[in-house]
Structures are given as C-alpha cells and as structure tokens.
Amino acid sequence: MPIFQRANQHLEGSLQHYQAFCCELLTTEVVGAVLVQHKKIVQINSRAASLFGQTPDELLHLPSITSLIAYEDLDRVRSGLRQCYANPHQRLTLNFGITHKSGQVVAIAAQAIAFEFHQKPAALLLLSRINEASV
C-alpha cells in the first residue's frame, strides 16, 4: 500500500475517532476537564478542581494523581490510563471515586481520550459527577 494511502487512512481513522468522542460528549453533562500526563495533572479547569475541593494551582503541584483516586479504584484507573496512552483511537469510559479534600469519596464518570501535550502522550479526562441515587 502506498505511503500516502496509509497516511490518509490513518487521518480518516483519527478524524472518525475524534468526531465520535465529540458526539458522545454532547450527550454528557461534563463538569470539568483534566489533562493527565505521566500520572500528573498538567492542566485542570476550576470546575474540575472544585470536585476535589481544591484550587487548580494546588492540584497542579501534586506529584501524582494517585492521592486523588479512591483506593479501591486506583488499579482500574491506572490500567485505564495505560490503555488510553497505548491505543490513541480508543475512547475510554471509567466510573471511579475521587477523594475530596474533606475526605469524602465522590463518584465520578470520566470520558477519556489520548491527547498530545508538549509533544508527549497525555490523556484528556472530561469528568461528570455521578448522581448517588443512580449508583
């Protein structure tokens, strides 16, 4: 197969992947956005930070996201992030608990997609709060 044809197929696949992700987001009540790279938060909006009961600046200075994930969900979230990095054409949906600054665990649904930030792999997580009545 000629190189241009392969490149075109790759671009078409990427476009379809991002279009499907965007369509899925339009049907989800997104509360906040977090960009994770090497287990560290590198970008976060204020609405996502409020889910943790912290400011964006506090969260950007954490050495790792592991202290924010409920202990029982930690392995599943790590595995999901690895899958996201390894397969950039896969959309990831994860439900897990995060630890609020008060110590309370908050149920979260995350839609994740592989992303590149400063020429390095990252994962963009769009968070929504799960209604406790539906859990």
User: Edge to edge, what strands does the sheet with 32-37 contain?
Assistant: 40-44, 32-37, 120-129, 105-117, 92-99
Q: Tell me the C-alpha distance between 130 and 108, whole Å.
A: 5
Where are the domains positioned within the chain?
30-134
Written as tens digits, the pLDDT of the chain (135 aa) is: 677 677 667 667 666 656 665 556 555 666 799 999 999 999 999 999 999 999 999 999 999 999 999 999 999 999 998 888 888 777 888 999 999 999 999 999 998 888 888 988 889 999 988 875 444
Q: Which CATH architecture has domain 30-134?
A: 2-Layer Sandwich (3.30)
